[in-house]
Structure 1
Amino acid sequence: MLETSARLLRLLSLLQARPEWTGPELAERMGVTTRTVRRDVDKLRGLDYPVEVDFGPGGGYRLGAGAALPPLLLDDDEAVAVAVTLRTAAGSGVAGTGETALAALVKLERILPARLRHRIAAMPVATVAPRVAPSVDASVLAAVGGACRDRRVLEIDYTARDGTPTRRRIEPIHLVAWGRRWYLVAWDRDREDWRTLRVDRLVPRLAPDGLPTGPRFAPREIPGGDPAAFVADRVADVRPFRCVVRVAAPAPQVRATIWTDQVRVDELGPQECRVSLASDDARSAALILTGLDADFVVESPDALVDELRRVADRYTRAVGRPAQPAQPIVPPTSQPIP
């Protein structure tokens, strides 16, 4: 009986780890026959676990959505990762998750072994509230993430940057948190091209149970292979004001200091780099560059030069005295010794 119970827990853990398994794959991982796998699946279903079976070509077993949340089986590393993620959820940019994340963390830490609580305590995490109000609905984020995981076509209503509403059929590939926003990398079936979509601007069309209903698709390879880099390239130029400055500081230092995601830093030398920045206007750019705490020279445009002069005059007035013109340095003159 003990062996059967342990095997059922192992089967449940495998079903939770991947969207779908074939019978031979499960049998190999568990060291049993496919017949035993079928019997164990029937036992899980008898315990009200929603194990779905697809007997079609390439089909297999998958854990579906049920009326209640089944127990989650986590290994040590997964439990630590979940706890740390819950501690940082307050600053994630997802609406309504702060108190819920805290409640879930309390439940998790109550049952964690002491060795795992010590590991989590050794990883101090501080969160800073975002400068803008969270705008991503948690249920939308979960639905889109589920469609990415299950490789299901998603039909969405999307509002473009200019406010134009559109209907789209997409293959959702990967979610990326960039700056204080969430983006979805997807293949647009109607436009036959890759798209980077703001999650706060889309509304997925779902079944009554909140799950996507589209057909499955074979995942495509994201250009370049890196979802984060793909999003970075696509969103770097969405702001209307662009400027370029040369900064007298090492590139790694500037990358660590600058707080906007709309930037590219190119190394020019050990102590110099070029910063290409996109922002809403010259005022925003000046504010960001002032925070670098390093000397820089404006390469373009003139509007940034004018804004920096305006800011310089304001700072000068703030210290209570007019700006003094720079005095030329006169070299000392030698006098003949009498």
Structure 2
Amino acid sequence: MAATTSRTLDLLSLLQSHRHWSARELTDRLGVSERTLRRDVERLRELGYGVESTRGVAGGYRLEAGTGLPPLLLTDDEGVAIAVGLRSQATSGLRGAEHTTLSALAKVEQVLPAALRRRIEALQSHAAPAGGFRPGRTAAAASAAVEADLLGLLALCCRDSERIRFHYTDASGADSARIVEPYRLVPIRSRWYLLAWDRDRDDWRTFRVDRIADVFQTRVRFEPMPLSEEEAVTRVESAVRRRDRVLRATVVMDLPVAEATAAFGGYGRDVSPVDGGRRAAWSIEGDSVEHLAVHLLWIPADVAYRVDGPPELADYLGALAARFAGLAAGEG
């Protein structure tokens, strides 16, 4: 009986994950005969699932809407998404449906494993709401482009005040290793952002979660700085607005990283090694092409380099070079 029940649940899971299955596909997946498959389909129908069957070459089975709500099979990530959504709706106040929202939430959380409940609680307590969401959109919906496991892990590290290391890819494609003290997850315009204190840069930094990879938990706890939820959201929103209007470029120099860092001082914190450290890549940003061009004055005169940036920067540098050449030739 246990094997029969397990097989029937496997069949239900397959039907829920795909629009249409042929009988051959299902028998191959389940390792059963067509006769056994038909019996399992009948068991699902007795439980209230509407399973439609069609004959012929293109025949098979598909799950259709029924007259009532039958039990659902959910993956761990699906269970977390539903519970987070229900919690968000319950706290924001769904007018006229407060009781049913709380009732549904209680039923879901009652059957969740302890590890999943811990992830949900961390997400709920350390995911600060922001004003950039469209009406009716829950925090869970913003994680569509982010692995649920990553989001849950970061939320736990925020809650537990645990220092972490990870690799981060910025907007220009440059990769860097970061060690941070995570504080809050903030959703803005369908993206998740992590607000953290960057220990190497000795300042607050905002990281897009979908650009974070290879998170390592150090097991080292830190003493959180006093930072309210409103302050966290304000910091992230300000950083995102600035990034939306900022211009970025990468300067690749024939200069070892150590020498570049020494030459640029505090401005060299965004220097990364290229070609095994023999050359350095410097990520620069500014509100205008003029601001970007000023960075180039820091590079020693005897160092060769190239600039990878927006077309308007190349146009500006070309015009600037022509102007300086004219001035050098004594042209007015």
Specify if TM > 0.5: no
Q: TM-score range by the shorter chain?
A: 0.3 to 0.5
Q: TM-score, normalising length from structure 1?
A: 0.38
Larger helix fraction of residues: 2
